Every structure is written in structure tokens, then in C-alpha cells.
Structure 1
Amino acid sequence: MFNSRVVSAILALVVSGVTTAFVSLIDNTPTNALILAAVMSFVSAFMLSYFSMEYLVFRELQNLHAAIEKLRRKDFKLTKSRFGSIEPIRKINDEMMRYASKKEQEIDELKRIENYRREFLADISHELKTPIFAAQGFVHTLLDGAADDPEVRDQFLKKAAKSLDGLEALVQDLITLSQMETGYITMKIKPLEISELINDIFEQLEKKAQKRNTTLKLDSKPDKKYWVLGDVNRIGQVLINLIENAIKYGNDNGKVIVGLESSKDFVSITVRDNGPGIAEEHQKRIFERFYRIDKSRSKDKGGTGLGLAIVKQIIDAHGSKITVSSKIGRGTTFEFRLEKTVAPLPTTNS
């Protein structure tokens, strides 16, 4: 009932009545003048109030109602046009736009997480299926009579054991990654001398490097100690993963160079190789679980596909960030930094 026309007509009648009453108080006012005053005041009051309410209030209230109706239907894609010439309506509009924008971002994030969940389930199903089916095939072959041949039996048992070892490593990495993400595993931050740790890792990986005739080199200032704050075991795990990947996926007769550079508050650690490099479209995703650039090639090289995901979690837990830069044919460089500290004082036995 109460639209802009009805309200405007009521207001115009009131204004017209009041105006005519005041004009009638003048002595000897002609009837024609009273009628003219009533008509003119009614028309002017009606037009003024009608256009004021129609364009300043009712139309914008209709826009607000339409926007609220879209929100009620859980449609958060509101148009970004601004309306609200009146301050309260403008504030309501701004609040609704902020609410819709926030909900739209939440929906996009939920969609991203859902896609990630689907990919993760597909990847983990594939990763678990491969070693299980391989071990199952070897065992069933032995049960079908191959166990009678000692040579075949030993060969198949070794292959089954290798598949199960790979399965154990995969499950262990999944447990480690899950515990890190939930905060179950905490970093034991202590002073450590990073160049000494790197040399120890070089010794551990020396045989793997020799198989591919790969040179391992530490690029740092001679006789300089680089003391940083970190969990020695977890930082060692990071460096082993990065250096081992550089050996596995680099070129034969290649180089893996670990660089140390000290600044005022941090020590930057880089692991670079002169291998085939990583295409730009893969660089943003290589820290995701089970993400492989070349799945067939990665399978031949071994690994669980979780190494770089664990590396990222460890570096994040140290309050730092790991980055990758690479160009096809020019090698790959991983870089992170750790907070500097001073060498601990030697302990004395009393």
C-alpha cells in the first residue's frame, strides 16, 4: 500500500491543506485564489516528495532488498556498483559488499581445498597401490610354486622387500608431514654450525654422487664459521633432500654447489645444480604433496614424492621461507635463510 506515490499524495494533501488554511486567514481572499493555492501547493509538494522518495529512498531500498535476496539464496556475487545517497543506506551497502566479498573468498578457498583433497586422495591411492600390488604379485608368484627354485625365490623376495621398504618410507613420510602440520613435532632450535653440517652430509652422499660422477662443493669463505639457530636434525633433513635431489635429477658429470652467504642477521643457504632445470609452470607446485614434474622419470629415480613438502614444512617451522629459481637448461637453485647467532660458550666440567 505504501509506495512512493501514495506517501507523496498524503504528504501533498497535508501541505496543500495547511497552505490553503493559512491563505484563507487573509481577509477578502477570493475563492479562486484559495483553489489555485491548494492546487499549486499540492502539485509542487507531490512532485518534490515523490521524486525525493522514489530516487533517494524507495529505489535504493529495492536495490538493498534485491541484494539481500541474493545473499539469502547464497549467491555472493554482488555487483560492485555503489548505491546509497543517504548515509545509513550507504553504510548498509558497504557492510553487505564486505560480507559478500568475504563469503566469496571463503567459497573459493573451500573449492580450492576440495580440489586439493581430490588430488591428494587420487595421488595417495596411486602411490600406495604401486608398492602393494608389486609385493603382492611377487608373494603370490612364490606361493604358486616359484618358491621351489632357490634362485627365483631369493630374487622375488628381494623385490617384494624393496617394494615394502618403499611403502614403509612413504607411510613414514606421511606421518612426519602430518605431525608437522598439526604441530605435534616441534623444532628443537639450538645454535649449529651450518658449514660443518654440510660437510657431514657431503660425506653421507659421496657414494651417490660418485655413481653419477657429480661434484659436491661448498661455496663459502675459507675458515669462516657460520653459526645459525635451527634444529640440527631437521635442517640436516632439508639439506639431504635438496642435495640428493640435485644429484638424482641433475646431469651426469654435473655439479652441486651449496653456497653460504652471511648478512647482518641471517645466513642464506643455497643449493644449486647445473642440471636440466624446472619449467616455470612447475615451480609453484613442486612443494605440494606427491607433485612430480615427470612422473615416469621420478618413479625410476625413487622417492616418495613428499620430500619437498617436508622441506617446506621444516623451513616454515623455522620462521623462514624456501624459494626456487630455475631456467630450462641452466640448472635449479633452492634458497632459504636461517637466523644468525654467536658460537656457544664451551661447557666446563666442575
Structure 2
Amino acid sequence: MKNRPLKTQFRVNFVLIILSSILATTITYALAVVLFNHLEYKKIYPANYYENQLPRVKDYIRQQNTRLLLLSARNDLEKVIPVKGIEYQVLNSEGVILYGTLTQKFIENRKQLYDQFNITTGFRGRYIQTIPIIGEDRRISGAVLLAYSLNTTYTNDTGNGWLTTLFIGALFSPIVYVVIFTLMFSKVFTNQINKPLQLLMDASRKIREKDLDFEVEYRANNELGRLCMAFSEMKDELKNSLSAQWKMEQERVEMVEALAHDLKAPLSVIRGYSEALIDSDAGRSEKESRYLAVIKENAEKGSDFVRQMLYTADLESSGRDLKLTPVCMRSFIEQRVGNYELQAKRRGIELIAEIEGAGDRGCLLDTEKLERILDNIMSNSLQYTPNGGRIHLSVKVEQHRAFFEIRDSGKGFSKKDMDNIFNKFYRGDEARGSKDGHSGLGMYIARQLVAKHGGSIKVYNAEDGGAYVAFDLKVFMNRSLPTHLDS
């Protein structure tokens, strides 16, 4: 069944619902007929039932004779007459009603009474027979009038309820069976569909978790089977593509690392010899001294660039687990601000630091990585804040999280900057250009290190202008910690 197309499965289930409902309804109707017959013979009197009781009643009337004219005979008479189906009147010889269950007057006088003896008359759907009461003197002393109908009746009061319930149940049984079988077959149908869909959802979750070592174990010659097969093919292609991409990325990282190592030695040599020449007293001209200073400056920039590349490669390859150490957040921030103040004062930049909620509590964090995060962000702010500008650093510690905000009064970020600032080797556009030749790795490294601390980093433009960088980190107050944090 599962190998058939979904449209065919739907049609088959629809037909099964109809056929099952028809079959169940037929069985129900058959049982209803059997039960009705049972009720008819056990619970229902036939139409002539009370008519057949008349000979027995007549015999009793003849036996009792004039005694029936006394009111005291009423209870005994009603034990013989089935009053549920037969109504009666006891009359005297003048047609006057003495007692009975039938209150309507049918006979007005003696002559009319005599005319009704031993005949059956009809009145409004009922049949009436008049049985004479003969006294000892052989004269008519009165009569008993019996009225009955030729209708089916029930042996007790519950018979009608049984028949009504049976009729209503049989009448609505097709609707009930359609609902029941629809629920039953639709559940089977949805289970057949849900199985491959659940497999696909599990596969999507594994892909999201970067786990491509799985198989979609569903084979069927229908739309769902082809969908699962296409998904498996997509997964295989994705695995091959990602494997190639990961391999290329690893080769690129290794190449960058190797290149950085290769550049490190000659740059160190150039820097060392330039410093030696500057420090020596060789009677050089001013022009030569200026050239040596330029060589030393660019050698230092190249060495710094190489260090950044090596750090990035090491960060991507090894992951650099956190080395958590206890530190007082307030003291740590004040020390870092002190390191930035010298450069800020040289250009007349006002450096403001606010620390909230840290107090003197000890926090466990990786101070080396936090230093590098702050250095990378603050170096950008110091570089792009104009002389006489302002940089504001605020730190707020709440329970197990620390929030950092750095705002400067520079030109701020362009849209291109905000879209690409965390990309590797991005050097910025005209708004925050790379006039000093930075590596383009600072913010990329900052984001990687923030993520390792279980935090996030974002950049904005402040409402009054200037760049705005905000990031948060997880911090802890005990020593029982893992070497890495999950965000």
C-alpha cells in the first residue's frame, strides 16, 4: 500500500471508508430487524391481542352476572379486564353508568341498550361490544360495555423506548460509521505519511547540526519515496561539497599559517638589522636615517600582521579552549583603561570608563582572550576617533553575564562596514578606511573569542553619531568549570 502514489492511497482509503460503512450499516440493519422481531414477540402485543381477550372477559361477566352491578365488584372485574387495552362501562338496565374506566356515554336508554347486545360497533377508531347482565328472573338487569382498538401495543412502558432507540440508532448508524471509519483509515493514512516526514525532519535537524553521516531509511515507489531519495541525494551532494569546502578551507588555513611562518623570519631579520643600523653611530645622512625609520616601521607592521595571521590560524585549527582564571572585573577594566589612556592623551581623546554591578567580586574568565577582544575594539576606536574626540567604555555585570559597550565620536560605520566588519581580512570602506594598513583580522578575531565565551557581539551607529560596539560574555563565580563554553 505504501508503494502506491498518494493520490491512489487517498482514493483507496476513501473507497474503504465507504465500503466499510456500507457493510457495517448492513450488519446493523440486520441486527435491528432481528432485535425488532424479538421485541415484537416478546415486548409487543399483536393488533388483535385485546380482541382475543374478549371471550375470557365475557365468560367472567356471565359467571358473575348481577353481582357486577355492585361497586364492590369493580376491583375483581378489573383484574379480569386488561384495562391497559380495554376500557369498560358497567350500566344498569336503564343505560345509566354505574362505574368503569370509560366515561363517555354511548347508550341513552333501555331500548338503545337492547339494540347493542351481541353486536360490535365502531366509534372513532375503537370497537365496542355490549355484553348483557341477566338476572335470576331471566330479565336484563344491566350490561358491560367493552371498548378496544386493533393496534400493536407494548407489554410494558419500556417497550416504546426500546423501539425508539432501536429506530434512531439504525437511522443514524451510516453517519456514525462514516465518522468512525474516516478517523480509523485517516489515522492509518497519516501514519504512513508521517513516518517519512519525521525522517526528513530528523535529517534536517542533523544537517543543521552539521551531522551528515546518516541515511534516510525509507524506500517507496511514490512521491514520498522520491522525495526521500532526492533528499538523500541532496545530502550526499552537500556532504561532498562541504567536504571539499572544508578541505579547501583547511588547506587555506594551513597555507596562511605556513606563509605567516615563512614571513616571520625575514621580517624579524629586517626589523633587527634596521634597529641595529638606527642604533649605530655611522654618520648617516638625514635621508638615510629617514629611510631606515620607514623600513623599521613597516617591518613592525608586517610582524604584527604575521602575528595576527598566526593567531587566527591557531584559533581556527586548535579552537583554543578557554583558560579560566579568577579576576576582579573592576581592577581588570581599570588596568586595561590605563593602558589605553596614554595613546588617548597624545591625541586629546577623552576616555571614559563606567563599571556597574562588578564590585569586588571575583569572576572566572579567560583574561588573555578578553584582553585581545578589548584591544582589537579599542584600537579601532582610538584609530578612527578624531583628535579631541571621546570614547566611552561601560561594563555591567549581572549574575553570570558581563555586558560591554564601547562608543566613540568618530564617523561611525557605513552600511558596508556593518555588513562585513566581522569578515576575515575586511579592511573597511571610506568611512572607516584602512589608511594605517591594519590587517582586517581584529574584529573577526574578536567575534570568534566572544563566541567561545558563550556570548555575542554587534555593531551599531550611535544616535548622536560615532561607532557603537556591544558584546556580552558568560562569567562564573566558581572554579568547577569546563574548558569551553557553549553559547
> Normalising TM by the smaller chain, what interval?
0.5 to 0.7
1:257 pairs with 2:392? yes
Tell me the equivalent position of 1:279: 414
Residue 230 of structure 2 is matched in structure 1 by: 97
Could you list the per-position Cα deviations for residues 120-140 of structure 1 after superposition, in whole angstroms to 9, with x for gaps in the alignment?
99xx99xx8xx98xx89xx9x
- Structure 1 position 317 matched with structure 2 position 446: no
Q: Which residue of 1 aligns with 2:379?
A: 244
Q: Which has the higher contact order (CA 8 A, sep 6+)?
A: 1
Selected match of 1:217 from 343, 349, 352:
352
> Given the superposition, is the C-alpha separation of residues 343 and 257 from structure 1 closer, same or farther in structure 2, using an over 3 Å criterion?
farther
What is the letter of the counterpart of residue 168 of structure 1?
S
The change in CA–CA distance for 1:305 and 1:87 in structure 2 (over 3 A counts) is closer
Query: 1-side partners of 2:432 and 2:292: how far apart?
Result: 25
Q: C-alpha displacement at 1:152, in angstroms? A: 2.2
Matched, 1:331 2:466: yes
Hey, which of these two has a bigger chunk of helix by percent? Answer: 1
* Distance across 2 between alignment mates of 1:114 and 1:280: 32
- The alignment of Structure 1 onto Structure 2 pairs a total of residues equal to 244
Following superposition, the deviation at residue 239 of structure 1 comes to 0.9
The Cα of 1:295 is off from its aligned counterpart by 6.8
Residue 268 of structure 1: how far off its partner (Å): 1.0
C-alpha contact (below 8 Å) 2:357/2:398 kept by paired residues: no
1:340 pairs, out of 475, 478, 483, with 475
Task: Quickly say closer, same or farther: Cα 1:297–1:158, change in 2 above 3 A.
Answer: farther
Which amino acid letter does the alignment assign opposite residue 308 of structure 1?
Answer: M
RMSD: 4.0
Q: Provide the residue aligned with 2:297 in structure 1.
A: 162
In the alignment, the residues of structure 2 paired with residue 194 and residue 303 of structure 1 have an alpha-carbon distance, to the nearest angstrom, of 29
Match of 1:200 in 2: 335
Equivalence for 1:153: 288
- Shift in CA distance, 329/276, structure 1 to aligned 2, threshold 3 Å: farther
1:150 CA drift (Å): 2.9
Q: Is the 8 A contact 1:275 1:329 kept in 2?
A: no
For structure 2, the 5+ residue unaligned runs are 1-218, 480-487
Q: What is the TM-score with the length of structure 1 in the denominator?
A: 0.58
Tell whether the 8 Å contact from 1:275 to 1:332 is kept in structure 2 after alignment. Answer: yes
Percent of counterpart pairs with the same letter?
A: 20
Q: Describe the superposition over 1:18-75 as per-residue Cα deviations: whole angstroms up to 9, x where unpaired.
A: xxxxxxxxxxxxxxxxxxxxxxxxxxxxxxxxxxxxxxxxxxxxxxxxxxxxxxxxxx
Distance 2:391 2:239 in 1: 43
Tell me the TM-score normalised to structure 2 length: 0.43
Residues 326 and 364, structure 2, Cα contact 8 Å, conserved in 1? yes
Alpha-carbon distance in 1 for matches of 2:456, 2:301: 29
Per the TM alignment, residue 109 of structure 1 is displaced from its structure 2 partner at its CA by: 6.3
Is 1:214–1:254's contact at 8 Å kept on the other side of the alignment?
A: yes
Q: 1:274 is aligned with what amino acid? A: S
- Pairwise CA distance, 1:95: 0.8
Q: Could you tell me how far 1:319 is from its partner in structure 2? A: 2.4
The AA in structure 1 aligned to 2:359 is K
Whole-angstrom CA distance in 2 between matches of 1:178 and 1:221: 35
User: What is the CA deviation profile of residues 138-188 of structure 1, one whole-angstrom value per residue up to 9, with x for unaligned ones?
Assistant: x9xx9xxxx984322222111111111111111111011110111163321
Tell whether 2:313 aligns with 1:181: no
